[in-house]
Chain A
């Protein structure tokens, strides 16, 4: 899967460059983030601007990452399209993930 990894201070900014975070792409997405977690990273912003659809595999990948990041870490989602936000709301995951509209807000929230 195509994905950009950038850094701002101790925050890793992950931008999947895929239309769908689904069974085809989620496994690699998860693996690459877990590699970063294993390498000691704990603070992540996932920018979903390019993603128009997240299915249960994609959601499972995000949950895995959230669980691996743990309580001392941070995972903030941003850039989610309406359909993705709807999916997160239906599954009540909007009450579990930190979700903000834009990337700069995600970074601000992690600086506070």
Chain B
């Protein structure tokens, strides 16, 4: 068992997984013997070489943790040996310490420029050599660990990125692909999640031949947790789930106020430590009557054909507070040519560089201004206005705008349907 100098402890087990291995290169037998005793006593595993050529071969074969390299040797000298070690990818990363009687600064600089990490001048002090050897091995080992951890992290990040892209695809599959083909309405939307997955989701769902449900949901927070809650809420709001229409055949449409009460019961805050806001409305396609309720969601805006804007303010508080505030239902009637806009707070809370928020007033003014544009074009103008307002900075929240224009039902269509 080699003696171990208590003043210069070997590497701990955490630093190096095995006994560190040092290659001693010196043409002088006495120097090698001194180093052999010194390093052997300190517990290192050793290999020796008496010239540069043997050193290169030993370095390639044994992959030492460190090389102690004499400079002045016949044949391939220390400098040339070091240059070759640093050129070969097999040995490039093995730390080299020069051990030489050359004491000029220029000599040291040359050695260090060739890629050696340290320089010890002969005659050397025992403890200095041991400390320098130990330090360089520790640095090299930690560097290796860092590189390998880094490689693992990069690989993990790649996996996460792929998962996130897959999650984004799943989420996108839950928002409507195209507006429902109904003669009574035209619909358009613009949806900009601020991360690859978002906390906003919206739906336009025909409940029966006379009723269309509109919903817009904003789950608190962003990223994967919020996105997963949106997926769950989207499922609850699908007609098959039996919440927005009573199950199987009865055909009863759940009133908006009741929809929010049921969601409030299904998504208690404690369930995910997340809440969501929702705007929910049911439009009677034949009459234009719109019943709605909101759970702390930004007020939907009705843009009348004459350019006036009404905000739909009835509702209650956020979903998940166990009926803390009762949900109130509101009612309005859309006339032919009236437009309804639902949006998330990412629209009105979008900030300009000075910190000022876009706000409800700017939004309603903008909607009124573009009322003669086609619905999709009007949405584009709103998005453009938001972009200008933010001064080109990316939004810090998901931005969702859902627009609907009511066209009324042609008498003939009513007739056909009633047959």
The residue in chain B whose Cβ has the minimal distance to the Cβ of A26 is B221
Nearest-Cβ distance from residue B193 to partner chain A, whole angstroms: 14
Residues in B neighbouring A53, C-beta threshold 8 A: 349, 357
Q: Which A residues from 37 to 91 make CB contacts under 8 A with B?
A: 52-53, 55-57, 59-60, 63-64, 67, 83, 90-91
Whole-angstrom distance between the alpha carbons of A92 and B260 in the complex? 15
Nearest-Cβ distance from residue B232 to partner chain A, whole angstroms: 16
Tell me whether B325 and A56 are in contact (CB under 8 A): no
Interface string of B344-358 (1 = CB under 8 A from A): 010001000001010
Whole-angstrom distance between the alpha carbons of A91 and B275 in the complex? 12
With A91-B318, A96-B325 as known contacts, state yes or no: A60 contacts B220, CB within 8 Å.
Answer: yes
Residues in B neighbouring A52, C-beta threshold 8 A: 355
Q: Which B residues from 214 to 237 make CB contacts under 8 A with A?
A: 218, 220-222
Residues in A neighbouring B383, C-beta threshold 8 A: none
Q: Is A23 positioned at the interface, with any CB of B under 8 Å from its CB?
A: yes
Residues in B neighbouring A96, C-beta threshold 8 A: 317, 321, 324-325
Q: Is A110 positioned at the interface, with any CB of B under 8 Å from its CB?
A: no
Q: Is A93 positioned at the interface, with any CB of B under 8 Å from its CB?
A: yes
Nearest-Cβ distance from residue A19 to partner chain B, whole angstroms: 8
Interface size on A (CB < 8 Å)? 20
With A93-B296, A95-B317, A96-B321 as known contacts, state yes or no: A56 contacts B277, CB within 8 Å.
Answer: yes
Could you tell me the dominant secondary structure of chain A's interface residues? helix
Nearest-Cβ distance from residue B347 to partner chain A, whole angstroms: 13
Interface string of A8-25 (1 = CB under 8 A from B): 000000000001001100
With A60-B275, A63-B275, A67-B270 as known contacts, state yes or no: A93 contacts B318, CB within 8 Å.
Answer: yes
Counting chain B residues whose Cβ lies within 8 A of the other chain, the interface size class is: 20 to 34
Nearest-Cβ distance from residue B279 to partner chain A, whole angstroms: 12
With A90-B298, A96-B325 as known contacts, state yes or no: A60 contacts B274, CB within 8 Å.
Answer: yes
Residues in A neighbouring B277, C-beta threshold 8 A: 56, 91
Tell me whether A60 and B296 are in contact (CB under 8 A): no
Q: Which B residues from 386 to 407 make CB contacts under 8 A with A?
A: 396-397
Whole-angstrom distance between the alpha carbons of A85 and B108 in the complex? 70
Residues in A neighbouring B274, C-beta threshold 8 A: 60
Task: For A63, give its contact among B298, B299, B315, B318 (CB under 8 Å).
Answer: B318
Tell me whether A92 and B221 are in contact (CB under 8 A): no
Residues in B neighbouring A64, C-beta threshold 8 A: 269, 273
Tell me whether B317 and A56 are in contact (CB under 8 A): no
Whole-angstrom distance between the alpha carbons of A67 and B316 in the complex? 18
Whole-angstrom distance between the alpha carbons of A96 and B324 in the complex? 7
Whole-angstrom distance between the alpha carbons of A22 and B349 in the complex? 12
Whole-angstrom distance between the alpha carbons of A96 and B221 in the complex? 21
Task: For A57, give its contact among B221, B299, B317, B321 (CB under 8 Å).
Answer: B221
Residues in A neighbouring B357, C-beta threshold 8 A: 53, 83
Tell me whether A55 and B397 are in contact (CB under 8 A): yes
Residues in A neighbouring B325, C-beta threshold 8 A: 92, 95-96
Tell me whether A63 and B345 are in contact (CB under 8 A): no
Whole-angstrom distance between the alpha carbons of A90 and B355 in the complex? 20
Tell me whether A59 and B220 are in contact (CB under 8 A): yes
Interface string of B262-276 (1 = CB under 8 A from A): 000000011001110
Tell me whether A56 and B270 are in contact (CB under 8 A): no
Task: For B296, give its contact among A22, A23, A92 (CB under 8 Å).
Answer: A92
The residue in chain A whose Cβ has the minimal distance to the Cβ of B199 is A56
Residues in A neighbouring B349, C-beta threshold 8 A: 53, 55
With A60-B273, A63-B275, A92-B325 as known contacts, state yes or no: A23 contacts B218, CB within 8 Å.
Answer: no
What is B's interface to A at a CB cutoff of 8 Å?
218, 220-222, 269-270, 273-275, 277, 296, 298-299, 315-318, 320-321, 324-325, 345, 349, 355, 357, 396-397
Can you list 21 A-B pairs, Cβ within 8 angstroms, ordered by A? A23-B222, A53-B349, A53-B357, A56-B218, A56-B345, A57-B220, A59-B275, A59-B318, A60-B220, A60-B274, A60-B275, A63-B269, A63-B320, A63-B321, A64-B273, A90-B296, A90-B298, A91-B296, A92-B315, A93-B296, A96-B317
11 further interface pairs, Cβ-Cβ under 8 Å (given A57-B220, A63-B275): A19-B355, A57-B221, A59-B220, A63-B320, A64-B269, A90-B299, A91-B318, A92-B317, A92-B325, A93-B318, A96-B321
